[in-house]
């Protein structure tokens, strides 16, 4: 889970982030961190809509190559 300090750095610097939710890149949420609480993060997308995502997802700067969350490709 992403920590408050990292979220605050992303918000203050206005860094565009990518939220990786599953294996499909088209399901990623891309935007700027607006607010957060203990369980969720609010992301403002380019079209100005606000999306609420869980903090348990993988957050990374949009400029970095896309990574998959650990354990996503393991068989259950």
Q: What is the chain's mean pLDDT, rounded?
A: 92
Question: Residue 18: phi, psi to the nearest 5?
Answer: -120, 130
If pLDDT is split at 50, 70 and 90, which confidence band does 71 have? confident
pTM: 0.87
């Amino acid at each position: 889970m992403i920590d408050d300090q990292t979220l605050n750095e992303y918000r203050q610097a206005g860094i565009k982030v990518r939220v990786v939710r599953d294996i499909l890149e088209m399901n990623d949420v891309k935007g700027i961190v607006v607010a957060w609480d203990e369980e969720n993060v609010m992301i403002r997308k380019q079209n100005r809509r606000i999306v609420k995502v869980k903090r348990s997802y993988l957050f990374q700067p949009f400029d970095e190559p896309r990574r998959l969350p650990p354990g996503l490709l393991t068989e259950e």
